[in-house]
Amino acid sequence: MLEEAMLKSDKIKWLIGSAELIPAGDNVFGGAIAVLTIHHWKNIEKSFNELSRVLKKGSHVVIFTSTPQQMNGYWLNAYFPKMLKASITKMPSENILEAAANKAGFKLIKTEKYCIRKDLNDLFLYSGKHNPEIYFQPEVRNGISSFATLANQNEILAGLNGLRRDISTECFLNIKQQYENDFGDYLFIVFKRNAS
């Protein structure tokens, strides 16, 4: 992953580390972004403490994630219920993030929901929202942690069969309709490191 990042820019100094242990000094960064990663953090409180340590006072952290509520609202639940539940149970809610952030000296500044657009090409969990065909590609599923680590093979087969059966029928449209909601698919959460 680091090698791929290096190909994108050789001006940036890329470091490898974890949210709980960032290989950098104190008060050195002007901001932080965390995109689709917080569900992999092993200790949320420790991670925010670490962010607080490496960030300059007054700087921002932008977290991009999907909340349990948003995940519950995705039609993919109809086909892979066990897999999604396993993902959702361990997904940190906004409340948990805010509590950890507050303890570490951050304030919640704003949240903004994000809805998947038809031209999305990131190939993560929601990537097939408007283009379900891509879930049939094993290489796409392998890049989605829910499919790759939380699902059992029987459920994947059954879910894909069901999806294949429904996909071009009214049944699929009905299921999608049942899951329509205003929660958005992802959420931007912006925290600001307290000045003092």
Partner 1 sequence: MIIKKASFNQLQEIFEIFQQCKQALNNENVFQWTDNYPTLDIIFQDIANSHLYGLYQQDECIGAIVLNSIQSPQYNAILWKDTNGKVLTIHRLAIKPIYQNRGYAKKLMSFAEKYALRNQFTSIRLDTYSANKASVKLYEQRGYEKRGEVSFPERDLPFICFEKNFN
**What residues make contact with partner 1 under the rule CB under 8 A?**
41-46, 68, 81-82, 85-86, 88-93, 95-96, 99-100, 103
Task: State which residue, 172 or 191, has the beta carbon closest to partner 1.
Answer: 191
Q: Is residue 98 a contact partner of residue 61, using CB atoms and an 8 Å limit?
A: no
Distance between the two ends of the chain, CA-based, in angstroms? 36
- For residues 28-58, b (16+ Cβ closer than 10 Å) or e, as one string? ebeebebebebbebeebebbbebbbbbbeee
CB of 86 to partner 1, least distance (A): 6
| Nearer to partner 1 among residue 92 and residue 162 (C-beta) | 92
**Least distance in angstroms from the C-beta of 153 to partner 1:** 16
The smaller minimum CB distance to partner 1, of residues 71 and 163, is found at 71
The nearer residue to partner 1, 77 or 127, going by C-beta atoms, is: 77
Question: Least distance in Å: CB of 19 to partner 1?
Answer: 12
Cβ neighbour number for residue 163 with a 10 Å cutoff: 21
| Three-state SS sequence of 134-158 | HHHCHHHHHCCHHHHHHCCHHHHHH
Considering the complex, what minimum distance in angstroms separates the CB of residue 100 from partner 1? 7
